[in-house]
Structure 1
Amino acid sequence: MEKQHITIIGGGIAGLTTAIALKRIGHTVSVFEAAPHLRPVGAGISLGPNAINAFAALDLKQALLGRGRLVRTFHIFDHRGGILTRTQVPSDLGPGVLCIHRADLHAFLLEQLDPNELHTDRRVASLIQDHQGVTVRFTDGSEHHAALLIAADGIRSAVRRCVLPRVQPRYAGYAAWRGVVHLPGMGDIASETWGPRGRFGIVPLADDHVYWFATSNATENDARFAAFRIADLQRHFAGYHTTVRQVLAHASDEHLIHGGIHDLPPLEHFAHGRVLLIGDAAHATTPNMGQGACQAIEDAVLLAHYLHNTPDATTAFRAFEQDRMPRTSWVVRNSRTIGGVGQWQHPLAIALRNALIRRVPPRIGQRRFDLANNVRFPHIPAVSEPGLEKTTSTGTRMAVHH
């Protein structure tokens, strides 16, 4: 496909990674972000082997690995500290899961782009497309025209509202709190604790920092939980094992993040003419598999692959959609199920769940991990590479059967 000017709406992980990938194959990009500053919202994030492999396709793997902490082991505990499951990253899947502060990942992505390609404080009001391209109109009255538009503006996507006005995020039934603490000596094991008051996650980051998160069943927009501070969380999780209490003892109200957990119901299409939805705008998932950002990064690499190896954007968008929809739907569906089971709070249900989990052969949980993470991607050649040869469509990624 001949090189085009492409509009990207959204300056988060999906939008920035897509900009990097599309620039690599020779397209010019303009990234528009609604916020007045390109500042990440969040705490920690886990990038599985699939996301690391996607960055390898962009020749960014080694540079990225130095920004976080690699973890190979994940445990689920009951609230007293007994182990329910152990999951290990097999050596053939690479160095492990990269646990990184979201701000560090965001900064890394920004380093790969020209600041002149980034435009902040631009909120989408409407868009018009024809055979020549897409014109987006912003709430400040300005407009921008390009051949294609990639919507990477998150679960509450303004672009998606323009093309699919009836699609709304769906509430998962629980709220979450997140934070980062400095806590040396926590080791290299990531964990979740499942108990009657909700779940509590602990993820080691670089430089002796720890990303933690907690969940509790709640009605949507629950005012009581929205007002929670660290002291409230300490009381809420007082019956949990020592490590949970230790992390909360080091947490502060200053950087506490709270919000309800949502995902998107599966969409019928990601492609709408010259407009393509990606990342959370297309397939927002609950965080229970650690795959939200990973799937957005996969989107970026595979979009570049299809645009580079097909004669026109319509064909490329259709191929992308056919590739991505089954996989992302599987992630959304499985992640929602895992979260639902993890949030059980009746004592009898918890006892039954824990007994069953302990009896499930480890290979079952390992298979789910492999399905999510054991993925390879074609190398995305840079415009400076001799010949800018096309990558074959055969073996775009390993077959994943859901």
Structure 2
Amino acid sequence: MGQRTAIVIGGGIGGLTAAVALDRRGWSVTVLERAVALEPVGAGIGLAPNAQRALDTIDAGDAVRAMAVWQAAGDLRLPSGRRLARTDNAAAVRRFGGPVAIAYRAELVGLLAARLPEGAVRTRAAAELVDAGDPERDDRPARVRVAAGGNGDEELTADLVVAADGIHSAVRRTLFPGHPEPCYAGFTAWRFVVPAPARPYVAHETWGPGSLWGTVPLHDGRVYVYATATVPPRGRAAYGERTELLRRFGDWHHPVPDLLAAVDPAAILRNDVHTAAAPPPAFHRGRVALLGDAVHPMAPNLGQGGCQAIEDAVVLAHEAAPDTALGPALAAYTRQRLPRTMDVVRRARRIGRLATWRSRPARALRAALMAANARLAPDLALRALDGIADWRPPAATYAAGARGTRTAELPKE
């Protein structure tokens, strides 16, 4: 039997992790990315211990931890600056075996791409699934059409296609045409990265009327900012997104005004938040596996969107061993990933709804509950990640020396 071939549609974090994991398992992998370059969507990403363990299996965990910032604590606040609670990463280490690492998405994308063979990633390659193929028939590979600009289209075949083509996945629609599209979660998100303000600040997440703001340091001295607000979908600010953010958040506590004053309006990303409307029939069909946002988009409130895509990638590569029949391997992938990720989708949706509360009584109740929980049960907030952040990858690893059971620790003072 010759070397198995795989095509990954989409060069985001999930797609690149899958490509690296499959390459380490002996597959010949080609990544097709429609953009002109590997440009990550978003600015920062939180990598919980479950994602770090998954990255350990492809020998990328240590490199990720080296380029991530470790924050010992952060505040949960109201727009006035009143602190409701303090989060403690040491508690996360005790509970889940490691803290959350905050990384710059562009650096993570570059790190993963650098682990692929030269020429494995093709940009300006818009891909369309033509035939899902049949894993039981060697004469029926999956077929993908690639738009090659003025040179016309070309057709590629592969033993496996991994669809990591995002929330509005064309591959998902082709495989399951009757399945409901992802639905609007009820709020929009803004994200950007700016230099740290001159005045000292504390990492924080602040909850306001139907809105939320987060300020998180990056390892290079810059700051990752994310914000959400309950607004109608498909909206755009008439006078620019910076003006919209100033209107909504400009009078909130330090360092929010300073960060808004520092941001280049062109650097602000705005995206409606979508979540899976219903569980799909499966995460695969034929020789095609769906991964990440293409199959389980979720609200960002648990910080698990990218983490679950990374988990998908390493589980898929684990099941698709070179000497394993592909049909049973993909069925095992669905069995492991569908119930887990749909549970995370539901849990993230529940927490996301809390951020949409706008009435004064509802917000007062929310603040009182958060403050009481912080006093009476300091680790209570972490329980939202029980069964999620403590996940460990399959026992077998995908590269010699990988450490699937590594426990990350906070750096020593």
Same-fold status (TM-score > 0.5): yes
Match of 1:253 in 2: 265
For the pair 1:236 / 2:248, whether they are aligned, the reply is yes
The answer to whether the 8 A contact 1:9-1:15 is kept is yes
The answer to whether the 8 A contact 2:36-2:123 is kept is yes
| Cα separation, 2, equivalents of 1:296 and 1:110 | 16
| Cα separation, 2, equivalents of 1:229 and 1:45 | 21
| Cα separation, 1, equivalents of 2:48 and 2:128 | 35
For the pair 1:366 / 2:382, whether they are aligned, the reply is yes
Deviation of 1:359 after TM superposition, in Å, equals: 2.4
Q: 1:335 aligns with which of 327, 336, 348?
A: 348
For the pair 1:160 / 2:160, whether they are aligned, the reply is no
| Cα separation, 2, equivalents of 1:116 and 1:35 | 16
Deviation of 1:155 after TM superposition, in Å, equals: 0.9
| Cα separation, 1, equivalents of 2:37 and 2:318 | 30
Deviation of 1:200 after TM superposition, in Å, equals: 0.6
The answer to whether the 8 A contact 2:27-2:322 is kept is no
The answer to whether the 8 A contact 2:9-2:31 is kept is yes
Query: SS where residue 168 of structure 1 aligns?
Result: coil
Amino acid at match of 2:337: R
TM-score by length of 2: 0.87
Deviation of 1:306 after TM superposition, in Å, equals: 1.3
Q: 1:283 aligns with which of 279, 285, 296?
A: 296
Q: Deviations over 1:206-225 (max 9, x none)?
A: 111100011111111123x3
Deviation of 1:379 after TM superposition, in Å, equals: 4.5
Query: SS where residue 350 of structure 1 aligns?
Result: helix
**In 2 relative to 1, CA 258–87 (structure 1 residues): closer, same or farther, beyond 3 Å?**
same
**In 2 relative to 1, CA 281–187 (structure 1 residues): closer, same or farther, beyond 3 Å?**
farther
| Cα separation, 1, equivalents of 2:397 and 2:281 | 28
Match of 1:356 in 2: 369
Question: What runs of 5+ residues in structure 1 fail to find an aligned partner?
Answer: 396-402
Aligned CA RMSD, in angstroms, stands at: 2.4
Deviation of 1:163 after TM superposition, in Å, equals: 0.6
Match of 1:398 in 2: none
> How many corresponding residue pairs?
386
The answer to whether the 8 A contact 1:185-1:208 is kept is no
The answer to whether the 8 A contact 1:286-1:336 is kept is yes
The answer to whether the 8 A contact 1:72-1:97 is kept is no
Deviation of 1:297 after TM superposition, in Å, equals: 0.7
Alignment of 1:75-94 (within 5 A): 75-89=75-89, 90-92=92-94, 93-94=96-97
Alignment of 1:376-391 (within 5 A): 376-377=392-393, 378-382=395-399, 385=400
Match of 1:102 in 2: 105
Q: 2:276 aligns with which of 260, 264, 268?
A: 264
Deviation of 1:146 after TM superposition, in Å, equals: 0.7
Q: 1:138 aligns with which of 127, 132, 146?
A: 146
TM-score by length of 1: 0.89
Report the identity percentage.
38
Query: SS where residue 357 of structure 2 aligns?
Result: coil
| Cα separation, 2, equivalents of 1:187 and 1:97 | 22
| Cα separation, 1, equivalents of 2:10 and 2:286 | 19
| Cα separation, 2, equivalents of 1:144 and 1:364 | 51
- Which deviates more, 306-315 or 291-300? 306-315
**In 2 relative to 1, CA 125–62 (structure 1 residues): closer, same or farther, beyond 3 Å?**
closer
| Cα separation, 2, equivalents of 1:201 and 1:8 | 33
The answer to whether the 8 A contact 1:5-1:147 is kept is yes
Deviation of 1:193 after TM superposition, in Å, equals: 0.6
For the pair 1:344 / 2:357, whether they are aligned, the reply is yes
Amino acid at match of 1:176: A
For the pair 1:62 / 2:62, whether they are aligned, the reply is yes
Deviation of 1:72 after TM superposition, in Å, equals: 4.1
Alignment of 1:212-227 (within 5 A): 212-223=225-236, 225=237, 227=239
Deviation of 1:83 after TM superposition, in Å, equals: 2.6
Q: Deviations over 1:347-391 (max 9, x none)?
A: 111111211222233343222223321122234243xx59x9xx9
Match of 1:399 in 2: none
| Cα separation, 2, equivalents of 1:176 and 1:322 | 32
**In 2 relative to 1, CA 227–258 (structure 1 residues): closer, same or farther, beyond 3 Å?**
farther
Match of 1:53 in 2: 53
The answer to whether the 8 A contact 1:72-1:189 is kept is no
Deviation of 1:260 after TM superposition, in Å, equals: 1.0
Match of 2:408 in 1: none
Match of 1:16 in 2: 16
Q: 1:173 aligns with which of 176, 183, 186?
A: 186
For the pair 1:121 / 2:121, whether they are aligned, the reply is no
